[in-house]
A and B are shown apart, each in its own frame.
Chain A
Amino acid sequence: MSNVLVVAEHLNQSLKKSSLHALEAARQIAARTGGKVYGLVVGSGVGEIAKDLARHGADEVLVADDARVEHALAETWSKVIEKAAREVSATYVVAPAGSQAKDVLPRVAVRLEAGMASDVIGFGGEGAELTFRRPMWAGSVIAEVEVTTPVKVLTVRPTEFPQAQAGAEAPVRALDLPDLGTPRTQFVEFRQVKSARPELTEARIVVSGGRGTKGDFSPVEALADELGAAVGATRAVVDAGWMPNDLQVGQTGKTVAPELYIALGISGAIQHVAGMKGSKVIVAINKDPDAPIFQIADYGLVGDLFQLAPELQKALAAAKG
């Protein structure tokens, strides 16, 4: 029997949807290994978050609710996750592939003498012997990998697994903190990007801008607002300081898979495409007819985004009105 421990991601006192996608991945693993699915929520004042997770199909949820683990510092969180994994005899530790798990989980892997696969997009193998499919070389290649250690640590791409549905409420129990020692890392501050728009990774529609915006994101934002969409950006845009890092889509930014992705003034570098090619429908507007983005776009429109994006926005508004 192989139990699975899912480490939840949360922000601003609420469970991030990515956690429910990871929970579904955990259930898929448990269905093959015959094990149970345990949830884990670490933080301060996170009791309600644990209850929320418990309503989505975990067998039990552990909660480490303590001011000493308020901030997700890898040094301390890894000790808490290790303890939880040992308590529930987890042979799999799974978390959504966001910056938090990427920071913390490798340390957990060392503590559990486990191998770790990052950004898992699916499972292969036979029966209880799972292999893991994950992108390499910016998604140009999909590798099927085997983790040879008894315990396996994974981050999973939320876009590749459906969201776990609400079900019967599982019990929640407190996890006592292990000895945290004297941490060598100190949290100083968090400068959060606040936006009224939908979260990039959870939006049904994403409108992204690239270098072609020349730093003027107003047409991108106006079109996004007309569609109730999230705003995304390319690396060049973030490097230039035009938009915050939290909006970067790509190999090292976020991976998105909305129903509709509208790329404005984006050439289509491999590193950007790696983060959005799972979108259901891709629209590209670019004045360069040879831009590589047109090779993956379902609908391409050649021309100036400063003219075409407002025109598209007006057409959509008129159709609605």
Chain B
Amino acid sequence: MGRIAFGATEENVKILCGVKRVEDPDQKIKVNSDGSWIVLDGINYKPNPYDEIAVEEALRIKEAQGQGEVVVVSIGTEESVTEMRHAMAMGADRGILVKTADRVDSDAAARILAKIVERENPDLVILGRQAVDSDQAQTAQLLAEYLGWGQATFAAKFESLESDEEKAKKPGLQVADGKVRVIREIDGGLEVVDVQLPAVVSTELRLNLPRYASLPGIMKAKKKPVEELTPADLGVDTAPKVKVRKLSSPPERKAGIIVPDVATLVEKLRNEAKVI
């Protein structure tokens, strides 16, 4: 399946990406003493990894085209500017921060994004398939429905992340003739769909390997414009449809034993665990 060049109508492609500030997924997350939230002391933050994949894909599409604009949107506290600057250091052109005192639920996030889409009129919205804090995996689909657009979730590609195509930084999403062709990772295999633009796409791990921010990129990002808005400016009520009441720790698995050899393992599995 060959890559198709952009049609005349998409020459100046405009892509909107979401970037959420989340707890670094490689550190241990613990519930606080009263179960009201997690322990925040010593926590590092990062852009949601799936959102970095979204930004990378948007940049590749723009680069393949030669021109266009990549706008990143973040919904959260003032600190979210850090994650947005990271996306701009990767190459995104400008940012929009929708300032909220606290996290909003997926539905409120989708309604905020829908308002931003109305203002910005992008050809394509690319979001991470899920944020690694709430793990709901809903925002892209909710947004598509609010907009009445088509969607393609869990976007990946046929080629692996170690393939020559990936090394050449080719986009996995193929935009042409007013459509985007998306290879979706679903249970049972890979599905290919064509979605009319404008469309919403959510990213799976296997879409690309995001680039690092270069030093000149970081310097440039400092001067890129960031517009600040509030949900009230957009006329969005952020009262949650899904409220977190309480957090608790999952049951711990008790540490097992190290067996010396295969014979002992087989004996234990048969007579102690009784699973074979």
A116 touches B138 (CB 8 A): yes
Report, as a range, how many residues of chain B touch the other chain.
35 or more
User: Considering only CB atoms, which chain A residue lies closest to B144 in the complex?
Assistant: A107
Stretch touching chain A among B13-21, B72-80, B148-156, B213-221: B148-156
Interface string of A242-253 (1 = CB under 8 A from B): 001110000110
A111 touches B145 (CB 8 A): yes
Interface string of B127-160 (1 = CB under 8 A from A): 0011011111110011011100111111010111
User: Considering only CB atoms, which chain B residue lies closest to A149 in the complex?
Assistant: B241
B162 at the interface (CB under 8 A from A): yes
Report which of B137, B241, B247, B253 forms a contact with A114, defined as CB distance below 8 A: B241
Q: Tell me the smallest distance from the CB of B125 to a CB of chain A, in Å.
A: 14
A137 touches B135 (CB 8 A): yes
Interface string of A160-173 (1 = CB under 8 A from B): 00000000000000
A183 at the interface (CB under 8 A from B): yes
Known pairs A239-B206, A312-B265; A137 contacts B23 (CB<8 A): yes
B51 at the interface (CB under 8 A from A): no
B249 touches A147 (CB 8 A): no
B154 touches A299 (CB 8 A): no
**Residues of B with C-beta under 8 A to A270:** 25-26, 28
**Could you tell me the distance between the alpha carbons of A297 and B239 in the complex, rounded to whole angstroms?**
42
B33 at the interface (CB under 8 A from A): no
Q: Tell me the smallest distance from the CB of B35 to a CB of chain A, in Å.
A: 9
Report which of A74, A187, A246, A277 forms a contact with B189, defined as CB distance below 8 A: A246
B233 at the interface (CB under 8 A from A): no
Known pairs A136-B133, A246-B187, A246-B188; A145 contacts B153 (CB<8 A): no
B181 at the interface (CB under 8 A from A): yes
B161 at the interface (CB under 8 A from A): yes
Instruction: Give residues 109-165 of A contacting B (CB, 8 Å).
Output: 109-111, 114-119, 131, 134-149
A75 touches B151 (CB 8 A): yes
**Residues of A with C-beta under 8 A to B269:** 260, 281, 283, 299
B238 at the interface (CB under 8 A from A): no
B160 touches A115 (CB 8 A): no
Q: Tell me the smallest distance from the CB of B106 to a CB of chain A, in Å.
A: 7
A142 touches B263 (CB 8 A): no
A241 at the interface (CB under 8 A from B): yes
Known pairs A184-B199, A252-B204; A300 contacts B256 (CB<8 A): yes
Known pairs A74-B141, A115-B241, A316-B266; A192 contacts B195 (CB<8 A): no
A277 touches B253 (CB 8 A): yes
Q: Tell me the smallest distance from the CB of B31 to a CB of chain A, in Å.
A: 6
B8 at the interface (CB under 8 A from A): no
B206 touches A193 (CB 8 A): no
Stretch touching chain B among A22-30, A38-46, A50-58, A94-102: A94-102
**Residues of A with C-beta under 8 A to B265:** 283, 299, 301, 312
**Could you tell me the distance between the alpha carbons of A184 and B31 in the complex, rounded to whole angstroms?**
43
Interface string of A187-229 (1 = CB under 8 A from B): 1111111000000000001000000000000000000000100
**Residues of A with C-beta under 8 A to B30:** 140
B232 at the interface (CB under 8 A from A): no
Known pairs A146-B243, A299-B265; A107 contacts B191 (CB<8 A): no
Q: Tell me the smallest distance from the CB of B254 to a CB of chain A, in Å.
A: 9
A184 touches B150 (CB 8 A): yes
B186 touches A239 (CB 8 A): no
B129 touches A244 (CB 8 A): no
Known pairs A115-B241, A190-B191, A280-B275; A302 contacts B196 (CB<8 A): no
**Residues of B with C-beta under 8 A to A183:** 150
User: Considering only CB atoms, which chain B residue lies closest to A245 in the complex?
Assistant: B185
B137 touches A102 (CB 8 A): yes
A252 touches B205 (CB 8 A): yes
A241 touches B135 (CB 8 A): no
B135 touches A118 (CB 8 A): yes
Report which of B26, B132, B189, B258 forms a contact with A190, defined as CB distance below 8 A: B189
A298 at the interface (CB under 8 A from B): yes
Report which of A115, A144, A235, A315 forms a contact with B245, defined as CB distance below 8 A: A144
**Residues of B with C-beta under 8 A to A186:** 193-195
Q: Which 7 A-B pairs have the closest CB atoms?
A: A241-B160, A115-B241, A184-B150, A106-B141, A298-B256, A188-B192, A110-B145
Enumerate chain A interface residues (CB-CB to B < 8 A). 11, 73-75, 78, 98-100, 102-107, 109-111, 114-119, 131, 134-149, 183-193, 205, 227, 235, 238-241, 244-246, 251-252, 254, 259-260, 270-271, 277, 280-283, 289, 294-302, 308, 311-312, 315-316, 319
User: What are some 21 contacts across the A-B interface (CB < 8 A)?
Assistant: A75-B144, A75-B151, A102-B137, A102-B153, A106-B138, A110-B107, A115-B242, A134-B135, A184-B199, A185-B150, A238-B205, A246-B188, A252-B130, A283-B265, A294-B255, A297-B256, A298-B257, A299-B256, A301-B259, A302-B258, A308-B262
- Given A106-B141, A238-B205, A240-B161, 11 more A-B residue pairs with CB atoms under 8 Å apart are A103-B186, A107-B142, A136-B134, A239-B160, A254-B187, A270-B25, A280-B275, A298-B273, A301-B259, A301-B262, A301-B265
